[in-house]
Chains A and B, each alone.
Chain A
Amino acid sequence: MSSIVDARGLSCPQPVILTLNKIKELGKGRIEVLVDTDTSKENVSRAATSKGWEVKDIAPDGTGYRLTLNKP
């Protein structure tokens, strides 16, 4: 069971803020983040990694990407 953060259409730094809020809320587990620009993809990956989360997968999704973040 994973939580979803829909950051599509949001400009900097909203995708990172939403992702970090979710990371803080869950502590560990699995989060799927939807973004629609390469900048957001990179920023969310960087922020998640800095909090000790692993970016397990980055898959194309519509015109953007679906990132799967994981912390066991």
Chain B
Amino acid sequence: MRVKNVLASRWGIIAVGAFIGILAPVLQKLGNPGNMGICVACFERDIAGAIGIHRAAVVQYMRPEIIGFVLGALAAALIFKEFRPRAGSAPIVRFVLGVFAMIGALVFLGCPWRALLRLAGGDLNAILGLAGLIFGIWIGTLFLKGGYNLGRAEITYPSVGLLMPLIMLGFLALALIYPQITGEAKSGVLFYSVKGPGAMHAPLIISLVVGLAIGILAQQSRFCTMGAFRDLLLFGQTHLFGGIVALLVVAFITNYFLGQFHPGFAGQPVAHTLHVWNFAGMALAGLAFALAGGCPGRQLFLAGEGDGDAAVFVIGMIVGAAFAHNFGLASSPKGLGPHGIAAVFIGLVVCLFIGFTMRKKIA
């Protein structure tokens, strides 16, 4: 056991936030979509497209960053003896929360990481998204104060904790066996985008290495965007908050110097200007993240260190992306999907149902 984990200190988490704040805009410079250097929700949605569980032609790509996040977190957990295979804390609830977290995020068009990166790139619509996120998390803290919890996980076989990393290794193998062919929408079993955000990406190896590096550092620092707001609202604690402030400030500076800062509401990349739905989509996502105990990034890092319940949340998000595009729930730069509003309301009702009914006293 180490005496002290430097990355889990105040300056440690600020450093990790700053590190992500530099690398995300650089990934954008190297080819990732606008204000989407890293977006956990969007990239999991692209993976859903790559394996064909939705067929939205513009968002299909096996994003190596996501694979790197999980494998990097696994590596860090193994190196520092923090790998704890555990599972069994209401997995079906975590799946459903993952589904609606993704649907909410795709109404806004981004996870909390991208909300910060959008703001750092000058997209002022992100202010509405972040306000909605904070509102949703605040609702979540009310449930937590009222005794909401999903019960205990159990220690289990190491192989249980390895399944999500193995799935990611499988995805990486598919991406290497069936690489993108220029101008082709399919390579072997994988789908690719020939235009749109799914066609925009940094070179695979760079995306993978950055993903691995962030996975290692974020696992060690416990970086979590939802937790940052939750701990502030629930306990008045600023520890995790330091990380997201660092991400926002450093990403803004990096964007500024890379010529990627363009302030305004209209014409922002992969964004729409419907303020109410930017707010409401992220409110739904924020509530789902709070009830599940982590933002999408954090759930990937937890899945990497052996948390089988976080892995179920991740699968829920990927399946949620399929619903979002197959059912016309996801927004696009043109505006809302035909059934996006209905999905937000259904999602909020489901989350409230979960929050109100799952508050068993812990002995």
Contacts and interface: CB of A to CB of B under 8 A. Distances in A.
A36 B84 contact: yes
Contact of B86 (A9, A12, A16, A18): A9
A43 to B, nearest CB: 8
Given A9-B153, A10-B362, A46 B309 contact: no
A8 B152 contact: yes
Contacts of A10: 89, 149, 152-153, 362
Mostly, the B contact residues are loop
A42 to B, nearest CB: 5
Contact of B293 (A8, A13, A18, A50): A13
A63 interface: yes
Listed residue (A9, A18, A50) with the most chain B CB atoms within 10 angstroms of its CB: A9
Interface string B204-230: 000000000000000000101001001
Contact of B155 (A16, A18, A36): A36
Nearest to B81: A38
B155 A63 contact: yes
Interface in B289-335: 293-294, 307, 309
Given A8-B152, A9-B89, A13-B234, A37 B84 contact: yes
B237 A47 contact: yes
B5 interface: yes
Interface in B85-102: 86, 89
Contacts of B294: 11-12
B362 A18 contact: yes
A17 B149 CA distance: 11
Contacts of A13: 144, 227, 230-231, 234-235, 293
A42 B8 contact: yes
Contacts of B86: 9, 36
A27 interface: no
A42 B5 CA distance: 9
A9 B82 contact: no
A11 B155 contact: no
A72 to B, nearest CB: 23
A3 interface: no
Given A9-B89, A12-B294, A60 B1 contact: yes
Given A16-B235, A18-B362, A42 B222 contact: yes
B150 A11 contact: yes
B262 interface: no
A55 interface: no
Contacts of B8: 42
A64 B153 CA distance: 13
Interface string A23-63: 00000000000001111001100110010000000001001
Contacts of B144: 13, 17
Contact of A37 (B82, B224, B235, B362): B82
Given A46-B239, A47-B237, A50-B237, A11 B153 contact: yes
Nearest to A7: B362
A32 to B, nearest CB: 16
28 contacts: A6-B363, A8-B152, A9-B86, A9-B89, A9-B152, A10-B149, A10-B153, A11-B309, A12-B224, A12-B227, A13-B144, A13-B227, A13-B235, A14-B362, A18-B362, A20-B235, A36-B86, A36-B155, A38-B5, A38-B80, A38-B82, A39-B222, A42-B222, A43-B222, A47-B235, A47-B237, A50-B235, A64-B84
Nearest to A43: B222
A10 to B, nearest CB: 6
Nearest to A64: B84
Contacts of A6: 363
A63 B89 CA distance: 18
Q: Please name the 10 residue pairs, one residue from A and one from B, whose CB atoms are nearest each other, closest first.
A: A9-B152, A11-B293, A9-B153, A12-B293, A38-B82, A42-B8, A39-B222, A14-B149, A37-B84, A63-B155
